[in-house]
Amino acid sequence: MPDEFVARPVRAARTVRVPAAVAWAAATDVRRHAAWIPLTRIDAPAHLQTGASFTAVSGPGATRGLPGLADTMVVESLDPPDDDARRTGVAVFRKTGPLLLGTAEVHVRPLGAQLCQVTWVERVHVRGPRALRLWSAASARLVGPVLRLMVGLALRRMAAELEA
């Protein structure tokens, strides 16, 4: 089995009462995700470009600098929404390990001058031996419920921050 196993997506969407450009700027500044995702710190440069990598570390002491589960990602694409509010912006982050593989995506769809929909999609599985095809399918089912809670909470917190 290749490492490119495609996990069933975990998806959450939220309508946010801000312009799409504002939501896009917040959602693609991954350093801000630490305020939205519990027990997580983000080690990333200020301005990510396509090809840049960053690491999210999650765990009970992660926000205090203690070790935790490292989720290393590479920015695959950053395609912002257009100015005339017709095109959905899409950011794709590829998870490269050491334990989690897959992708995380953020979609920002303009709905009007002061309204947009932010959708967060995670396709994640745990790295496992190539010979065990069932490992990735089982790990995706284990990781899915945790991701669903995390993504929903992150979007609620993001919306509350942006709309305040």
Domain parsing of the chain, residue ranges: 10-163
Alpha-carbon distance of 158 to 119, in angstroms, equals: 12
Q: What is the pTM of this model?
A: 0.88
pLDDT at 101: 87
> What is the rounded average pLDDT of the residues 156-162?
97
pLDDT at 137: 65
- pLDDT, tens only, 37-69: 999 999 999 889 999 999 999 999 999 999 999
Mean per-residue pLDDT over the chain, rounded: 88
pLDDT tier at 3, thresholds 50, 70, 90? very low
pLDDT at 130: 56
Contact criterion met (CB below 8 Å) for 62 and 33? no
Coil, helix or strand at residue 53: strand
- pLDDT, tens only, 108-148: 999 999 999 999 999 987 777 654 455 666 666 777 788 88
CATH architecture of 10-163: 2-Layer Sandwich (3.30)
Residue in this structure with the two tokens 């896009």, named with its chain if needed: 24
Coil, helix or strand at residue 137: helix
> What is the rounded average pLDDT of the residues 91-101?
93
Asked if pLDDT for residue 150 goes beyond 80, the answer is yes
Crossing angle of helices 20-28 and 133-163, in 10° steps, is 130
